[in-house]
């Protein structure tokens, strides 16, 4: 890399940080022994041919030893908490059996995957009932990226994710494989899933006790499901696939010694150019792949990753061979298609806090299609955050089924690490973000704030991507069916369902 600029601030408006929220829960470093960072194992395919890959993903209940003493009751994918990392190769036809071994319905949403909606996408229209399974298949046809799988059963997404239903999904392709990035999984290429939790009596989660309509937080950092984790560094460069998997929390990341690090990828894949930072903020659902170069450290040294001023992950330096970071100035060509002439501009207004949150002034309705875009078109979506109460709050805006390009923030260029593909963009209070959106598939998809309690609270809408030559009708799930199923599965009356948020 040439002499380059090093960015030393978080870009976002400081008054809008979640620390200013009345209900903000500061992180506290837990007073327990250090644990080795959990590295999720890779999900093995059930079967593999030259063209096709077959997997089984099981949503299951289990117990996790987070803290000394009692184990915590948790949920996960092929694991007790979080899940195994799922690796898809671009160009393959993927078959997944989705199995629900939980006591209640859930859905399997592929966050960031360009697949048809609404069933394969796995939003609220695709419940898998307890003891049942369903089969999906799709072509993996998008650039290498760090995506994720999480539950999305409205309006219980937040509770399902809080219990552990989230895991990393990695897409690999030949373009990324040719770049000089670390890619030895578990050694110099590791997922870092950032979450926070509160532990109650007997080390259990108690989502309802912690409920806050602006997003549930806990004081304890939980990284890949590990409390107070450390990672043994045995290579000069380590690639971290950071995912903000928290319901609400923003992570303001920086290392001890203000160590510089280089972002190489965002939500949808590799950035056109590497960007060097000392400080990086991630908001809910965003991903950033960074490379950390430990070349200035010697065996026995420790490097700490902080969020604000709380240590969340320690890197213990061991002997390694010299291998300085040497990235090209240009990494990949990012698709940037022209906006379709005379196409409409879609308006999305995010407003409110607490129970008042809304999208375009309305609450989510599972049977209402709020917007439409023609397949093949590239159209502008104009996302505004009107929320300036008490300084307002950031809303991370997510669209299912696509990776988009950010055009501008309040008429100015996007942040330097927003030049690649994104599926989630955080919008400052009072800001208007224009994005360019196109799709590979038809379907009904959801768009929403990714503070998960806000989406459960109705800050969500639906749009249809249609092909005029092949019109489709969709049988959409309705809230009554879902709520009655939840009530039956939980053995309570519908009025007693602990589902805050959306008007039901």
Closest contact distance (angstroms) between CB of 437 and Cu ion is 19
393 or 444: CB nearest Cu ion = 393
Binding piece for Cu ion, criterion CB under 5 A, among 274-282, 288-296, 450-458, 472-480: 450-458
141 or 354: CB nearest Cu ion = 354
412 by Cβ neighbours in 10 Å (0-12 / 13-18 / 19+) ranks as exposed
Q: Does 454 bind Cu ion (CB under 5 A)?
A: yes
Q: Does 109 bind Cu ion (CB under 5 A)?
A: no
Closest contact distance (angstroms) between CB of 448 and Cu ion is 8
Q: Does 502 bind Cu ion (CB under 5 A)?
A: no
Element (H, E) at 254: strand 251-255
Q: Does 448 bind Cu ion (CB under 5 A)?
A: no
Single residue of 435, 449, 461, 499 touching Cu ion by CB under 5 A: 449
Q: Are 248 and 452 in contact (CB under 8 A)?
A: yes
Q: Which residues contact 97 (CB under 8 A, 6 or more apart)?
A: 46, 54, 55, 56, 57, 133, 134, 135
Distance CA 454, CA 338 (A): 33
Binding piece for Cu ion, criterion CB under 5 A, among 10-18, 163-171, 216-224, 446-454: 446-454
Q: Does 16 bind Cu ion (CB under 5 A)?
A: no
Q: Phi and psi for 305 in degrees, rounded to 5? A: -95, 130
Single residue of 222, 358, 451, 483 touching Cu ion by CB under 5 A: 451
Q: Are 126 and 100 in contact (CB under 8 A)?
A: no
DSSP at 356:
G
Binding piece for Cu ion, criterion CB under 5 A, among 121-129, 192-200, 387-395, 432-440: 387-395
Distance CA 499, CA 494 (A): 10
Closest contact distance (angstroms) between CB of 395 and Cu ion is 4
49 Cα distance to chain centroid: 30
Distance CA 277, CA 263 (A): 8
Q: Are 58 and 164 in contact (CB under 8 A)?
A: no
Closest contact distance (angstroms) between CB of 58 and Cu ion is 31
Single residue of 287, 395, 409, 434 touching Cu ion by CB under 5 A: 395
Dihedral through CA 32, CA 33, CA 37, CA 38, nearest 10? -70
Binding piece for Cu ion, criterion CB under 5 A, among 384-392, 451-459, 475-483, 494-502: 451-459
76 or 396: CB nearest Cu ion = 396
Binding piece for Cu ion, criterion CB under 5 A, among 134-142, 155-163, 235-243, 447-455: 447-455
379: which strand partners? 437
115 or 449: CB nearest Cu ion = 449
Binding piece for Cu ion, criterion CB under 5 A, among 126-134, 165-173, 218-226, 442-450: 442-450
Element (H, E) at 157: helix 157-163
Number of residues that bind Cu ion (CB under 5 A): 4
Catalog residues that contact Cu ion under the rule CB under 5 A.
395, 449, 451, 454
């Amino acid at each position: 890399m040439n002499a380059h600029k090093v960015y030393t601030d978080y870009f976002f408006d400081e008054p809008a940080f979640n620390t200013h929220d009345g209900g903000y829960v500061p992180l506290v470093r837990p007073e327990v022994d250090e644990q080795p960072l959990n590295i999720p194992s890779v999900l093995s395919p059930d079967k593999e041919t030259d063209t096709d890959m077959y997997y089984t993903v099981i949503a299951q209940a289990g117990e996790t030893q987070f803290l000394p003493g009692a184990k915590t009751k948790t949920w996960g994918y092929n694991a007790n908490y979080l899940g195994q990392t799922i690796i898809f190769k671009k160009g393959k036809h993927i078959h997944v059996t989705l199995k629900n071994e939980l006591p209640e319905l859930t859905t399997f949403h592929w966050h960031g995957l360009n697949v048809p909606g609404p069933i394969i996408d796995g939003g609220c229209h695709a419940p898998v009932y307890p003891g049942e399974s369903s089969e999906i298949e799709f072509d993996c046809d998008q650039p290498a990226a760090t995506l994720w799988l999480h539950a999305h059963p409205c309006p219980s997404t937040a509770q399902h994710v809080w219990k552990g239903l989230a895991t990393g999904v990695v897409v690999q392709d030949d373009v990324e494989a040719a770049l000089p990035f670390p890619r030895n999984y578990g050694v110099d290429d590791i997922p870092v899933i950032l979450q926070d939790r509160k532990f109650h009596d007997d080390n259990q989660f108690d989502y309802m006790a912690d409920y806050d309509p602006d997003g549930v937080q806990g004081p304890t950092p939980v990284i890949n499901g590990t409390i107070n984790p450390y990672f043994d560094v045995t290579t000069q460069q380590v690639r971290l696939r950071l995912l903000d998997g928290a319901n609400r929390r923003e992570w303001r990341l920086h290392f001890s010694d203000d160590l510089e690090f280089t972002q190489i990828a965002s939500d949808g894949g590799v950035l056109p150019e590497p960007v060097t930072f000392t400080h990086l903020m991630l908001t809910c659902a965003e991903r950033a792949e960074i490379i950390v170069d430990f070349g200035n450290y010697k065996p026995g040294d420790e490097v700490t990753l902080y969020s604000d001023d709380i240590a969340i992950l320690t890197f213990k330096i061991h002997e390694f061979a010299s291998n300085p970071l040497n990235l090209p100035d240009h990494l990949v060509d990012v698709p940037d298609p022209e906006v379709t002439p005379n196409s409409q501009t879609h308006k999305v207004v995010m407003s409110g806090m607490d129970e008042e949150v809304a999208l375009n002034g309305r609450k989510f309705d599972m049977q209402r299609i709020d917007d439409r875009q023609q397949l093949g078109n590239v159209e502008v979506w104009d996302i505004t955050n009107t929320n300036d109460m008490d300084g307002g709050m950031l809303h991370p805006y997510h669209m299912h089924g696509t990776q988009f390009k950010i055009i501008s923030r309040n008429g100015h260029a996007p942040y330097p690490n927003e030049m690649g593909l994104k599926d989630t963009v955080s919008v400052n209070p009072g800001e208007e973000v224009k994005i360019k959106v196109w799709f590979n598939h038809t379907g009904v998809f959801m768009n929403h704030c990714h503070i998960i309690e806000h989406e459960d609270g109705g800050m969500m809408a639906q749009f249809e991507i249609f092909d005029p030559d092949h019109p489709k009708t969709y049988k959409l799930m309705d809230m009554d069916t879902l709520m009655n199923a939840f009530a039956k599965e939980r053995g309570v009356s519908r009025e007693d369902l602990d589902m805050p948020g959306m008007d039901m």
